[in-house]
Amino acid sequence: MDFSTFMQQMVNGISLGSMYALIAIGYTMVYGVLRLINFAHGDIMMVGAFVAYLANSAGVPFEISVVIAILAAMLTGILTDKIAYKPLRDAPKISLLITAIGISFFLENLFNVLFGGVPRAFAAPEYLTKILHLGSIVIPVTVIIVPVVTGLLLGITLLILNKTKYGMAIRSLAFDIPTVKLMGINADFIIMLVFAMGSALAAIGGIFYAISYPSIDPLMGILVGLKAFAAAVVGGIGSVTGAVLGGFILGFTEIVVVAFMPELGGYKDAFAFVFLILVLLFRPTGIMGQDLERSRF
């Protein structure tokens, strides 16, 4: 492999890793507060991509379509919590896990019935589909935009968690929900806020994914969601920074391994889970998970 090819794959890995990172943050925030693996999170990403597509197809400007999609994803996340998870707060964790899988199947089949299982082309504005050339390296504009947006949103998320009263409430809730309630904090509102933040990030990740791989379908969130979950675990589930780190690691792994060994291209989707197994074997808490019992997020 020559240098230009290697750099091309690095560029692709940065973009893919950024998308995984955005979705992984939602997984890690919900787990940090409720100890719940929200397997419907990948499908909330799909909802965001579909709503942006539908709004844009109806003639709404793309930028407004993105805002509508983010709000729709936030509403979906909040309703999922209110309808499916809140009644089971005191139930065994396995009940919540089964419910999360059920919500995932519901969203997939709902959109499959409404819009069919045929992939649809996702049209993005010209400024997001431009291609830049740096010597022999081809750089889509999204490859630059996605990591920048991911870094910006990571900074905003950490600022909210560490510098605001709502963030303090989220971190407190992660340790002991009953005690937080006794202190007069509306725990249900804070949990709703966590689902809203995570769902908004998933919608943004889904829209970027749809732009980079310009087609959407009701099942698009399954594999992407599982990979984002793997990224959250690799980075140290419960750690926002760890989720981003895990997303970049898995994105690089998926792209670079195939670049070095093209004959394994058919197995590229398995690399994330092989890497997950290796990390869990040698570091069960994830890369940044060693201090999570003392410092959530």
Confidence (pLDDT) at 2: 65
* Per-domain boundaries in the chain: 17-220
Confidence (pLDDT) at 295: 55
Confidence (pLDDT) at 138: 79
- Tens-digit pLDDT profile for residues 189-248: 999 999 999 999 999 999 999 988 888 999 999 989 999 999 998 888 888 888 899 998
Task: Write the DSSP string, 266-279.
Answer: GGHHHHHHHHHHHH
Mean pLDDT of the chain: 87
> Is the distance from CB of 212 to CB of 140 less than 8 angstroms?
yes
- Rank 95-99, 116-120, 211-215, 288-292 by mean pLDDT and report only the highest: 95-99
**Is residue 88 over pLDDT 60?**
yes
Residue 263 pLDDT class (50, 70, 90 cuts): confident
Confidence (pLDDT) at 294: 53
Residue 139 pLDDT class (50, 70, 90 cuts): confident
Confidence (pLDDT) at 1: 59
Cα separation, 281 vs 283, whole angstroms: 6
Q: Give the bridge partners for 139, in sequence order.
A: 132
Q: Closest Cα partner for 140 from 128, 124, 123, 126?
A: 128
Confidence (pLDDT) at 290: 57
- Tens-digit pLDDT profile for residues 147-177: 899 999 999 999 999 899 999 999 888 888 8
Cα separation, 181 vs 177, whole angstroms: 6
Read off the pLDDT of each residue in 243-259 and give the average, rounded to a whole number: 85
Residue 291 pLDDT class (50, 70, 90 cuts): low
> For the stretch 100-138, what's the b/e string if a residue is b when 16 or more beta carbons lie within 10 angstroms of its beta carbon?
beebbeebbeebeeeeeeeebebebeeeeeeeeeeeebe
Residue 92 pLDDT class (50, 70, 90 cuts): confident
Host H or E run for residue 42: helix 41-57
Confidence (pLDDT) at 131: 84
